[in-house]
Amino acid sequence: MREQIQELIRQYQNNLYAVAFSICKNSEDAEDVVQETFIQYYTTKNEFENEQHIRAWLIRVAINKAKNVNHSFWRKHKVPLEEYMETLTFETPESRNLFETVMKLPEKYRTAIHLFYYEDYAVKEIAGILKISESNVKARLSRGRKLLGQSLKEEWDDDE
């Protein structure tokens, strides 16, 4: 199964950008990752089983490319999280606070939480995408939630 590239871009561009940004923490790098991901899809000779297989493949490629960007020597022009936050709009101050807190998590927890809560992947699917065991995904989600809870509790205690 091969989908038209224009349809895939329309369908998954925002999802791939969110995944890439959660790893790169830089909008320009995330945009590059998305573009390179679609170029790789366009040039690959892979056949896919179904739409879910394509989606998982795109996300896996985006994650790998984003990690490569983080490790590249040429990584410069990094936009601090605070600067990027100014460009976003949030429905409530609480959703802004939650986003900031999630973005401060270590990468392995942040990625698992993003895939689970924002992309609606099941634990088994995340394990396949990240190429780790299901128990490892569960552990990362649990530890990520615990870190989020601790960070948010500290902030709530400070507000009182």
Q: pLDDT band at 158, cuts 50/70/90? A: low
Domain positions in the chain are 1-88, 90-160
**Residue 82: per-residue pLDDT:** 64
pLDDT digits (tens, 9 = 90+) for 78-131: 556 666 666 677 788 887 788 888 888 898 999 999 889 888 899 999 999 899
Contact 6, 46 (CB under 8 A): no
- The mean pLDDT of 8-20, rounded to a whole number, is 92
pLDDT digits (tens, 9 = 90+) for 63-92: 999 988 877 755 555 556 666 666 677 788
Sequence-distant (≥ 6) Cβ neighbours of residue 60 within 8 angstroms? 129, 130, 131
Q: Is 44 a residue whose pLDDT tops 80?
A: yes
What's the burial of 149, exposed, middle or buried (CB within 10 Å: 0-12/13-18/19+)?
exposed
Contact 113, 104 (CB under 8 A): no
pTM of the model: 0.58
* E strands, the chain, in order: none
By C-alpha distance, which of 105, 102, 106, 107 is closest to 63?
A: 107
Q: Is 151 a residue whose pLDDT tops 60?
A: yes
The CATH code for residues 90-160 is 1.10.10.10
**Which of these CATH numbers, 1.10.10.10, 3.40.50.720, 3.40.50.10300, 1.10.1740.10, describes 1-88?**
1.10.1740.10
Lowest mean pLDDT among 2-11, 107-116, 129-138, 142-151: 2-11
